[in-house]
Structure 1
């Protein structure tokens, strides 16, 4: 199976970029198909599920996300794990540690790499690198809440792990990266309980 780009035209460029791409790709029936696709070019991002082992909680942030206003039950306010854009000169792990401190105020020492995934590759090339980290109350060294110069306004919440896991099944939690991370954590805890 192969493809060929016939035309790639940038139609929008500000914080992100949008291209109008005309291409031909092979089909499963063996015939070629010419299509027009719109591509949202986004930088890679990191997401961190941060567990406070002293409290048995997950560190979450609440913030306003305009893109969810039309369909959100919470009028655009979302509950999410920590995350952010990877700077050009940093590794995903370094970004995860930086974002954890900026958003939650916790200094995380070690992050466990879980996976990377495309949240919406039907339209975008954004790649999310997912990590897990543990902190204790002693690791809280700043207030968190995001960076003012990035126009971030985050409320830091610590929610009991089991309560948050339940929210993934009731529709209260709708952020995909957070759901993936929490389902991973729930499975990990279930496997730990099953071990003799």
Structure 2
């Protein structure tokens, strides 16, 4: 049972953090900043000045392409260097995804990346959620959607050569995609969240999106 003086979550906000110094320690394809900061503690005193490195990633948009008539999803296979050194293949099955550029809405990013990465045009887009990827070390926020497509002619190799993209498009039965989560063939957060969301909302989505 909570005590009489129990405090609920979100006692503190942005204004409670004091950044004494900020320095960009790396600027390449991505950026890394070092922060010297402090903030109040739950016990009432203040944290001593400490440092953190922060990966400045920006926001991104990810979309699970779904054909409600054929009950199929479209997944993209591409190389990811963050998987190097692990026992699994560094070629992952993922969603359509891209970084949000200045002035773009997530829906505009979804349509742009659908064309560039998979040759797909989304009909309806339904927002699933927004989530922080790894807030202990990076600023990245994901805008996650499910997008209506026809998977009948989806496939092939796509991507922008100048951005070193090499993307193979796969059409996968929905049940098989879910099985890939269970056996570990799909183990990236955006794909897992989106597919499990579709498990919960699939009947409604099929009724709403299917051709009359």
Is 1:73–2:88 an aligned residue pair?
A: yes
Partner secondary structure for residue 181 of structure 2:
helix
Structure 1: how far apart are the matches of 2:120 and 2:169?
11
Structure 2: how far apart are the matches of 1:63 and 1:192?
28
Partner secondary structure for residue 138 of structure 2:
coil
Rate the CA distance shift 1:29–1:191 in 2: closer, same or farther, 3 A.
farther
| Contact map agreement 2:72 2:151 (CA 8 A) in 1 | no
What does residue 159 of structure 1 align with? 172
What does residue 27 of structure 1 align with? 41
Count of residue correspondences: 191
Kindly provide the CA deviation profile for residues 40-64 of structure 1, in whole angstroms up to 9, marking residues without a partner as x: 1112110000012343211000011
2:150 to 136, 146, 156: 136
* Segments ≥4 residues shifted beyond 4 Å: 137-140, 190-193
Kindly provide the CA deviation profile for residues 75-123 of structure 1, in whole angstroms up to 9, marking residues without a partner as x: x111101101112232110110111111111111221112111111110
Q: Could you state the TM-score of these two structures normalised by the residue count of structure 1?
A: 0.90
In structure 2, list runs of 5 or more residues that go unmatched.
Answer: 1-11, 207-212
Shift, 1:191, TM fit: 7.2
Kindly provide the CA deviation profile for residues 14-42 of structure 1, in whole angstroms up to 9, marking residues without a partner as x: 12111110101111111211221110111
Who wins on radius of gyration, i.e. which is larger?
Answer: 2
What does residue 43 of structure 1 align with? 58
Q: Could you state the TM-score of these two structures normalised by the residue count of structure 2?
A: 0.83
What does residue 150 of structure 1 align with? 163
Counterparts in 2 of 1:148-187, with a 5 A limit?
148-187=161-200
| Contact map agreement 1:4 1:23 (CA 8 A) in 2 | yes
Rate the CA distance shift 1:72–1:107 in 2: closer, same or farther, 3 A.
farther
Shift, 1:144, TM fit: 5.5
